[in-house]
Amino acid sequence: MSGPHDLDPALRGALIARLTAMADDELILGHRDSEWTGHAPLLEEDIALANIAQDEIGHALLWLEVRTGLDGSDPDALAFFREAGDFRNVRLVELPRGDWAFTMLRQFLFDAFETELLERLARSSYAPLAEAAAKAAKEEIFHLRHSGLWLERLAHGTEESRRRLEAALEQLWPYLPQLWQAQAGDAALAEAGVVPEPTGLEEAARGRVLAALARVGVASPAEVAPNPGGRERHGEALVALLIDMQSVARADPGVDAW
């Protein structure tokens, strides 16, 4: 499938929803990461996280550009002029940034999932999506390497770093499964080869996370029921985040350069 005209209306709607979900995950995580700019514990880490934040926001743009090809929507309008209730990100990425261990563990969990997702999306039958995924996959190598090293440092650093890592894991664990939870139209998209088959993706992503935890000797928390509710449900933290993230664009909506 080389372009939008090869999709029937049902698949097109499902793909718009899937792209919005993926873009919102990246955009909100990117913004959370950017909150450390100027505050990270080391200069190199400050620079690194600012870079990762920029990459994630760049990935959000990639997905939104694919969406533009389907419905002509404006990526900037979607990012800066939607209300919290219209965002479709998972809860994991909107949680307040917490301490350094929380931020780096969340980044690792997301990177582990995204690595598996991108590898599969790069083989999507929908060419624009496959192309965008191939682009993002190249950058994701650097993210996973970085957050994976932090998982090791936190686990083997000091008693304090390990305590914080384990506390962060307890907090983040219930939110993890939502990353691979399928939405209403995903099954049809997977059948058409547009998005990866959900079970395979879940197994691979979960396996990657469990293997990494085992490698650093951290026990994974007990399996929990996935956080109830779909991607339309958000916490108050997202509202506060959006007020900050959207404030400049909303201050003068007609301006296209500052």
Partner 1 sequence: MDPGPKPVDTSASPTPEAVWAALQEVKDPEIPVVSVVELGMVRAVEVTGTHVRVDITPTFAGCPAFHAICAAVSDRIRTLGASEVEVRRQLAPAWSSDDMSDAARTKLHAFGIAPPRAHGGLVLPELEAPVACPRCGSFDTDLRGAFGSALCREIYTCRSCHETFERFKPL
**Could you list the residues that contact partner 1 (CB under 8 A)?**
44-45, 47-48, 50-52, 54-59, 61-62, 65, 127, 131-132, 134-136, 138-139, 141-142, 145-146
Which CB atom, from 56 or from 186, has the smaller least distance to partner 1?
56
Contacts of residue 89, defined as CB under 8 A and 6 or more positions apart, other chains included, come to 21, 24, 25, 27, 28, 29, 231, 234, 238
Q: How far is the CB of 139 from partner 1 (least distance, A)?
A: 6
- Kindly state the smallest distance separating residue 30's Cβ from partner 1, in Å: 8
Nearest distance from C-beta of residue 128 to partner 1, angstroms:
8
Nearer CB in complex with partner 1: 206/208: 208
Least CB distance to partner 1 at residue 73 (A): 16
Taking the least distance from each CB to partner 1, the nearer of 14 and 62 is 62
Beta carbon nearer to partner 1, 77 or 127: 127
Tell me if 103 sits within 8 A of 154, measured CB to CB. no
For residue 246, count other CB atoms closer than 10 A to its CB. Answer: 16
Amino acid (one-letter) located at 231: R
Identify the three-state secondary structure at position 52. Answer: helix
146 closest CA partner among 39, 28, 34, 46: 46
Closer CB to partner 1, 12 or 135, in the complex: 135
Q: What is the DSSP string of 81-122?
A: S--GGG----HHHHS---SHHHHHHHHHHHHHHHHHHHHHHT
Q: Give the pair of three-digit tokens for residue 143.
A: 């993210």
Q: How far is the CB of 199 from partner 1 (least distance, A)?
A: 28
